[in-house]
Amino acid sequence: MMPPTLHILENDHWQIGILPETGASVAFGRVKQGDSSRDVMRPTDPADYDDPSLCASFVLIPWSNRIRDARFRFHGQEYPLEPNSADGNAIHGDTRRRTWQAESAGSERLSLSFNSTAHNQVNFPWQFSALVEYWLDGADFGMTLSLKNIDEEAFPAGFGQHPYFVRTDDVQLELPVDQHYPLVHAMPTGAAEPMIPDLDFRALRRLGDVPKLDNLFRGRQGDRPARIVYPSWDLELAITSDPIFEHLIAFAPEGKPFFAVEPVTNANDGFNLFEQGIAGSGVFVLEPGEEKRGQIRLRTVGL
C-alpha cells in the first residue's frame, strides 16, 4: 500500500507537513531558529502517517471531543452513533480517518475539502461538507475550518482542532479562561463553574505544576492568546482563535513527552448539554444551506 501523500508548507518561520489522505491531519510543525528548525508540535513517525491519533494535529468535524454513550437527542429525537473509543463513546467527529480532497495547493497554502455524500457509513445522521485551509503568513501558522449543512434538515454541530505540542521539563502554559467544567470520565456534570486554583493557568505557569490535565474550559478573556513558553528554547507560541471557538481543552497525560491545547467550539458531550438546555454548550445549529467558519493561528515569538 502506498504511504499517504505529504504536502509541505514552508516559509522563513515555519515548516508544516499536511496529510490530506489522513483526515487532513498535520504531520509536523517546525519552527525555524537561525539555520536550524525545531519540532514544537509533536512530530509523527512517518510509519504512522496513516494514523491521525498519532499525528501532530487533526481536524474535529462535525463535533469535537466526546458524545456520551455514542447517542444524543436533538429536538426530542434520539440519534445513535457508532462508538469509536474504548469507553463506548463517539469521539472527535467522523472525518479524521477519511481522505480529504485538495482544492488548491501551494508552498504556503493548502485548501482541502470533504463531502459526506462521497463516503460510506459516515458516523453522523445528516449530510455535510467541510473545508480546512492551512496557511502561512509570516510568523503565523493558520488553520481555517468551515462546516456546511447540505442536508434538508437542520442539525447540531461543532468543530475544532486537536494540536499536540512537544513537552519539555520547563515548558510553561497560560490559558486566559475564567471557567472550568466539573468532569466525570471527561464528561461535564453540568454548566461551567468559576476557575479553581488547581486548574488556574490564567497567569503563566509551569505545566509540571499539575501532574496531569484532561480538562475543559470556557469563559475566554477577550482576544488574549493562549501562550506556550519554552524558556530553554527562547521560544513562545501564541494561540489565537475566533470567538466561535468558545472552549479550550488542555490535555497533558502524566509521563508523556507531549500535551495538547485544543481550540474547539463545543463542550464535551455538547449535543446532549444543548438538548438539556444547559447554557454554554457551544453547539450551533446549522439550517439547510447554512455554513459556519472559524480561524485559529499559532504565532511563533522569540523570547
Return the closest-CA partner of residue 218 out of 128, 158, 286, 140: 158
Q: What is the pLDDT of residues 109-120, one digit of tens each?
A: 999 999 999 999
What's the CATH number of domain 7-302, 3.40.50.300, 3.40.50.1240, 3.90.1150.200, 2.70.98.10?
Answer: 2.70.98.10
Taking residues 139-163, what's their average pLDDT? 98
Q: Is the dihedral of CA 80, 81, 84, 85 positive or negative?
A: negative
**C-alpha distances in angstroms, 257 versus 34, 143, 185, 198?**
25, 24, 23, 21
Taking residues 224-235, what's their average pLDDT? 97
User: How sure is the predictor about 303, in pLDDT bands with cuts at 50, 70 and 90?
Assistant: low
DSSP 24: T
Kindly report the pTM of this predicted structure: 0.97
User: How sure is the predictor about 302, in pLDDT bands with cuts at 50, 70 and 90?
Assistant: confident
Name the residue ranges covered by the structural domains of the chain.
Answer: 7-302
| Average pLDDT score over the chain | 97
Q: What is the pLDDT of residues 190-208, one digit of tens each?
A: 999 999 999 999 999 999 9
